[in-house]
C-alpha cells in the first residue's frame, strides 16, 4: 500500500472439500483446543499455526474450517473467547505504539517517522471500516486511546 515495490506472488491453498484421512480428530475436540489456546492469550493466527504444528492430542489439523465446518474466528465468537479488538487492528496499534516510543527516543529518525505516519494512516482506515460493527460508533484513533486499550 505505502511502497514502490510490486506485490509478490504467493502460493495458493490446495483445493480440498474434506480434511485429509490422517487428520481424523473430532470437531468438538478441535473447538475445545481453540478456546483453550485463546484463553492462554493467543491470537487467531497463532492458534492456527499451533493447531497445524502441534495439533490436538498429537494429530495435526491442517485446516480448521475443513475439520469443523466453521472458521476459527467463528468458533471464538461462539464461545465468547474473541478479543475486544480485531487482530489486524490490534497488531497495527502495537506497531504504532512501538514506533511512537522509538520516535520519542530518536526524534531525528525520519525513516521511522514516515513509517509511523503510514501505520497510523492504516489504523485510521481500518477504524473507519470497523466503526459501528467491532468498534463503537464514536471511536476515533489516537495514541493515548491505543495505549489505554492495549494496557487493559
Asked if 79 and 69 count as a contact pair (C-beta separation under 8 A), the reply is: no
Measured distance between the N- and C-terminal CA atoms of the chain, rounded to whole angstroms:
30
Q: What is the pLDDT of residues 66-81, one digit of tens each?
A: 999 999 999 999 998 8
- Sign (positive/negative) of CA torsion 71, 19, 48, 8? negative
Mean pLDDT of the region 115-129? 96
- Across the range 122-139, mean pLDDT stands at 93
* 125-139 average pLDDT score: 92
Mean pLDDT of the chain: 90
Which residue ranges make up each domain of the chain? 27-78, 87-151
Residue 5's pLDDT band (boundaries 50, 70, 90)?
confident
- Which pLDDT tens digit goes with each residue over 9-47? 778 877 888 888 888 889 999 999 999 999 998 999 999
Q: Is the pLDDT assigned to residue 152 strictly greater than 70?
A: no
Largest alpha-carbon pair distance within the chain? Answer: 57
Q: Which residues contact 139 (CB under 8 A, 6 or more apart)?
A: 127, 131, 145
| pTM exceeds 0.75 | yes
* Model pLDDT, residue 95: 97
Look up the CATH number of domain 87-151. Answer: 1.10.287
Which helix (H) or strand (E) segment is 24 a member of? none
Q: Does the pLDDT value for residue 7 go beyond 80?
A: no
Amino acid at each position: 500500500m505505502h511502497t514502490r515495490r510490486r506485490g509478490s506472488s504467493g502460493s495458493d491453498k490446495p483445493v480440498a472439500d474434506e480434511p485429509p484421512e490422517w487428520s481424523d480428530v473430532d470437531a468438538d475436540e478441535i473447538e475445545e483446543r481453540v478456546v483453550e489456546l485463546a484463553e492462554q492469550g493467543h491470537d487467531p493466527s497463532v492458534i492456527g499455526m499451533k493447531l497445524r504444528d502441534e495439533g490436538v492430542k498429537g494429530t495435526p489439523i491442517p485446516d480448521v474450517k475443513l475439520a469443523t465446518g466453521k472458521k476459527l474466528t467463528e468458533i471464538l465468537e461462539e464461545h465468547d473467547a474473541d478479543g475486544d479488538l480485531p487482530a489486524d487492528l490490534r497488531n497495527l496499534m502495537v506497531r504504532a505504539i512501538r514506533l511512537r516510543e522509538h520516535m520519542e527516543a530518536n526524534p531525528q529518525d525520519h525513516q521511522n517517522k514516515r513509517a509511523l505516519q503510514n501505520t497510523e494512516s492504516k489504523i485510521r482506515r481500518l477504524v473507519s471500516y470497523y466503526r459501528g460493527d467491532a468498534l463503537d460508533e464514536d471511536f476515533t484513533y489516537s495514541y493515548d486511546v491505543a495505549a489505554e486499550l492495549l494496557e487493559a
